[in-house]
Amino acid sequence: MRMLINVPETVVADGLRGMAAAHPDLVVDVDNRVVVRRDAPVAGKVGLVSGGGSGHEPLHAGFVGPGMLSAACPGEVFTSPVPDQMVRAAAAVDSGSGVLFVVKNYTGDVLNFDMAAELAEDEGVQVARVLVDDDVAVAVADSTFTAGRRGTGATLFVEKIAGALADEGAPLERVEAMARRVNESARSFGVALSSVTTPAKGTPTFDLPPGELELGIGIHGEPGRERRPMMTSGEIADVAVHAVLEDLRPAGPVLVLVNGMGATPLLELYGFNAEVQRVLSERGVTVARTLVGNYVTSLDMAGCSVTLCQVDEEMVRLWDAPVQTPALRWGR
């Protein structure tokens, strides 16, 4: 195992200590595993809280800051955070206007955020919850680690657009409705070129022979739809974009996220984006905005995902609104 770590047992704490040193505009509670924007709670503003297992960085802690999340709760690697973290985060960001939990659709995340919402409400915090379930590679029936579709790249769209609306002072009901609308308008499809290696295991979590790839994987290395011989960037784009469009069928412009899984260089991602844009053009889909990079990752997995979100003028305006987080910064 060749990893830039001390020991597997401290990898999350070590990462949080490094984040605190790099980003003084965040309050990083290493012991309790909560990351909060330093100016929280903001008077009159709905708090946005999300979280999940570590290993998907910059999701979620890298999206804490003005214009996106108010707080994030990192769990152990590929493991849900616990309710106490979420309750602590909700209390830290609640200004009296309520808190929205953004939850990826994985069984542990759903159960723990549900429990945290009940505990927070017992303490007088008004909580709403939005489930992100955008992965078209999974049938609506149960899948590995989750009941229904997995939450993947659309989480970034939900957190950015709902976060911008919350920063404008919109009430909890409007912020929740917008987050739901973004999720319902978004679909994703992922591809693995290599397996993922967790620090605790130290070896690949699944066997992917040289010269093969896995279509439709999840961000924890969950099984895909099928395994095929290695394909060109253009061929992968054909499969991924067609899978998304078959389910989404956009009637208007879309946001595009071309996302790396952690070990894919930007040179390859930009080349892949060129192919994604080609397929969208061939299908007559108008692109409103495009984001390319490693944002919703799976540790050291090589591969990519494509997320499309049909948008209207308000959603584009909120996407373009200023944001200042460790991983997304524009307009300020």
Our answer to whether residue 23 is catalytic in this structure is no
Q: Which residue in the list 23, 56, 60, 242 is annotated as catalytic?
A: 56
Among 23, 60, 220, 242, which one carries the catalytic annotation? 220
Q: What is the 3-state secondary structure (H, E, C) of the chain?
A: CCCCCCCHHHHHHHHHHHHHHHCCCEEEECCCCEEEECCCCCCCCCEEEEEEEECCCCCCHHHECCCCECEEEEEEECCCCCHHHHHHHHHHHCCCCCEEEEEECCHHHHHHHHHHHHHHHHCCCCEEEEEECCECCCCCCCECCECCCCCCCHHHHHHHHHHHHHHCCCCHHHHHHHHHHHHHCEEEEEEECCCCECCCCCCECCCCCCCEEEECCCCCCCCCCEEEECCCHHHHHHHHHHHHHHHHCCCCCEEEEEEECECCCHHHHHHHHHHHHHHHHHCCCCEEEEEEECCCCCCCECEEEEEEEECCHHHHHHHHCCEECCCCEECC
Give catalytic residue positions.
56, 220
